[in-house]
Amino acid sequence: MNGAQYIAEFLARVGSDRVFLLTGGACAFMIDAVAQHPKLNYTCFQHEQGAAMAADALWRVSHKVGVTLATSGPGATNLITGIATSHFDSIPSLHITGQVNQRESSAFHGANVRQAGFQETRIVEMVGPVTKYAVMVKSAAELREELAKAYSIATSGRMGPVLIDVPMDIQQAEVGDDILLPSRLPAATEAPAQVLADLKRTLDEAKRPVVLWGAGVGLAGVERDVADWLQSSGLPFVSSWAGLSYFDHDHPGFVGQIGVYGNRGANFVLQNADAVIVLGSRLDNRQRTGNTKQFATGATVHVVDVDKEELAKYRNDGYRVSHLDFAALPELLRQLDGSPRSGEWSDHVAEMKQRYYHKEVSTSAARLNSLSPYDVIRRVNGIIAEDAIVIGDTGAAVCWLYQAFKVKRHTLFNPGGNSPMGYALPAAIGAKIDRPDRQVISYNGDGGFHLNIQELQTVRHNNLDIAIIVMNNGSYGIIKQFQDSYMQSRYSASRDGLSFPDFGALATAYGLRYARIERLEQIDPSLFTGGPIVIDVMLSEHTLIEPKLEMGRPINDQFPYLGEAEYAEGNRFVDYPRPASLRTA
């Protein structure tokens, strides 16, 4: 086999049978080899960014490593946003780029020039900060070794993307027929017995415990074990956004999602606990806010994570930390009893859940006599299949989605850490290509929808039955709300200075069905069957995210602001005094 054929056979052997690509001269040999392999399938995208986002989605829906192929220069650099998305969300993906022949490279000439070969670009150095591993191979032997090594790195420990840059002469070189396969690399973590002892101490000391469920639980594939343990122990739990996909939201212990755009009741419970056990969440500033001193001030916070560097960042916060490969978590939890809780704490948790969980309303929509995004999401939630794949984009639209959607057997995700606009459409393509048996919903804001709108042609060409929802408020709503709070409602570049096209005309141009939604009853099951469709949901431009945290306050004091009495009821155990300047009536 030559190098290109070796790559194709390697992908088939490891089960990465879906390859997302845009062609080019420097990757043409590899694409040809993939096309000729009987066990591989490729999908052409209109932009390499879309291909990388589709590859990212593959692991989230099938636990399969997604693969991209791209040419050198702009083809490779166009992958970077999608690669960064996988990196920050711990998603394994494999990106293979073509590179100029080594005899044409600047290194061959021994000169420090910007570029020697056509489209020669040092992609390895560019993606270094947003990959777990990136390398350019320089020989046939290196190709064999580095492919296996990179795949092992991508899928071991805290997972993430890798990139292999393959010069054209290596693609054509004789490699041999012996395929070197990857292996899972062991994580050098603490002994599970020590972690068990430390967690037991945290729970034994607690009277008001709560567990924070993070994405690491699901990424490690141990979600059923954790859900069963939480049910048997009786411990209440809250979730990060990224964790929400991995359990039935009717779980009796679930209180809601926490954070800046979190559920009020879940935020009150976490903020009033005396022990918070964090399983696989990095506690970013959308969870704790930028002022970490206002997070769970009355609690011992105990973080369990596979990434030692994530744990190191808590050294100034006084948190307890445990370094654990979550493959060991199920056996550990079987030996960990839930701490007995006081009746007062149980009653408070139950009250917060009953009062606030799944009770979000849009007071702004009611005032404006327009559609409530929360009502729209709940109606969609009730119509689509219980195992549908729902992919959120960014901005206000995704905040409404995560505040109102209830997971049964659904797969729900968005590009949380990098949060690029334009993710939901190509990710939905990747999901539907690999899981044609499942209903797929691409959920967008009107602004984010534009960033990869060219992929509507990919939907049409492959006749993918995807429902593309657009929450259309004629603006960048999340930025407008920020400008309302801090810039006296000057809507520079969020409404003023930009405009949006007729999505109905665009859908027609791409040969897709179209529905304009102005009343809730127009959302019916027929929209979600019968081929691809753009569902254009018309909202007022002044529709707000509710609740939403504003700067200077802890996560349990969100806008629209509660009166002092209700705020005090939520903070029954820990005092979070409002400064006089922030008090309400």
Residue with tokens 């018309």: 538
Q: Using alpha carbons, select from 396, 429, 329 the residue that is nearest to residue 548.
A: 396
Report the alpha-carbon angle 285-286-287, nearest 5: 85
Give pLDDT, residue 108: 65
Helix (H) or strand (E) holding 58: helix 48-62
**DSSP letter string, 379-397:** HHHHHS-TT-EEEE-SHHH
The pTM score is 0.95
CB of 216 closer than 8 Å to CB of 279: yes
CB of 410 closer than 8 Å to CB of 386: yes
Two structure tokens written together for 2: 């030559």
Other CB atoms closer than 10 Å to residue 442's CB: what's the count?
30
**Euclidean distance between the first and the last CA atom of the chain, given in angstroms as a whole number:** 76
CB of 476 closer than 8 Å to CB of 543: no
Mode of pairing for the β-strands spanning 320-323 and 466-472 = unpaired
By CB neighbour count within 10 A (0-12 exposed, 13-18 middle, 19+ buried), where does 352 fall?
A: buried
Three-state secondary structure call for residue 16: coil
CB of 72 closer than 8 Å to CB of 123: yes
Sign of CA dihedral 335, 222, 380, 557: positive
Q: How far apart (Å, rounded) are the C-alpha atoms in residues 476 and 515?
A: 22
Q: How far apart (Å, rounded) are the C-alpha atoms in residues 254 and 256?
A: 6
Over its C-alpha atoms, the chain yields an Rg (Å, rounded) of 25
Give pLDDT, residue 313: 93
What torsion, rounded to 10 degrees, do the Cα atoms 571, 577, 583, 585 define? 40
Digit-by-digit pLDDT tens for the chain (585 residues) are 999 999 999 999 999 999 999 999 999 999 999 999 999 999 999 999 999 999 999 999 999 999 999 999 999 999 999 999 999 999 999 999 999 887 777 776 676 777 656 777 899 999 999 999 999 999 999 999 999 999 999 999 999 999 999 999 999 999 999 999 998 888 788 999 999 999 999 999 999 999 999 999 999 999 999 999 999 999 999 999 999 999 999 999 999 999 999 999 999 999 999 999 999 999 999 999 989 999 999 999 999 999 999 999 998 899 999 999 999 999 999 999 876 678 999 999 999 999 999 999 999 999 999 999 999 999 999 999 999 999 999 999 999 999 999 999 999 999 998 989 999 999 999 999 999 999 999 999 999 999 999 999 999 999 999 999 999 999 999 999 999 999 999 999 999 999 999 999 999 999 999 999 999 999 999 999 999 999 999 999 999 999 999 999 999 999 999 999 999 999 999 999 998 766 665
Two structure tokens written together for 302: 């105990």
Give pLDDT, residue 188: 81
Q: How far apart (Å, rounded) are the C-alpha atoms in residues 17 and 145?
A: 20
98 pairs with which residues across the strands?
A: 166
Looking at residue 147, its amino acid is L
Give pLDDT, residue 342: 81
Mode of pairing for the β-strands spanning 411-413 and 466-472 = unpaired
Q: How far apart (Å, rounded) are the C-alpha atoms in residues 322 and 302?
A: 8
Q: How far apart (Å, rounded) are the C-alpha atoms in residues 29 and 479?
A: 45
210 pairs with which residues across the strands?
A: 276
Query: Between helices 373-383 and 395-404, what is the axis angle to 10°?
Result: 60
Q: Write the DSSP symbol of residue 260.
A: T
Residue with tokens 């790559």: 7
Give pLDDT, residue 337: 82
Residues 6+ apart with CB under 8 A from 443: 390, 391, 392, 393, 397, 398, 401, 424, 469, 471
CA 97 to chain CA centroid, nearest Å: 24
Q: Cα dist. 64→8, 40, 54, 498 in Å?
A: 16, 13, 12, 39
Give pLDDT, residue 106: 72
By CB neighbour count within 10 A (0-12 exposed, 13-18 middle, 19+ buried), where does 314 fall?
A: middle
Q: How far apart (Å, rounded) are the C-alpha atoms in residues 139 and 125?
A: 19
Q: How far apart (Å, rounded) are the C-alpha atoms in residues 234 and 494?
A: 46
Two structure tokens written together for 10: 């390697």
By CB neighbour count within 10 A (0-12 exposed, 13-18 middle, 19+ buried), where does 95 fall?
A: buried
By CB neighbour count within 10 A (0-12 exposed, 13-18 middle, 19+ buried), where does 284 fall?
A: middle
| Per-residue pLDDT tens over the stretch 355-365 | 999 999 999 99
Give pLDDT, residue 585: 53
Q: How far apart (Å, rounded) are the C-alpha atoms in residues 346 and 26?
A: 62
Q: Using alpha carbons, select from 397, 378, 399, 354 the residue that is nearest to residue 259.
A: 399
CA 390 to chain CA centroid, nearest Å: 12
* Percent composition of the chain: helix, strand, coil (DSSP 3-state, to 5): 40, 15, 40
Report the alpha-carbon angle 441-444-448, nearest 5: 145
CB of 204 closer than 8 Å to CB of 144: no
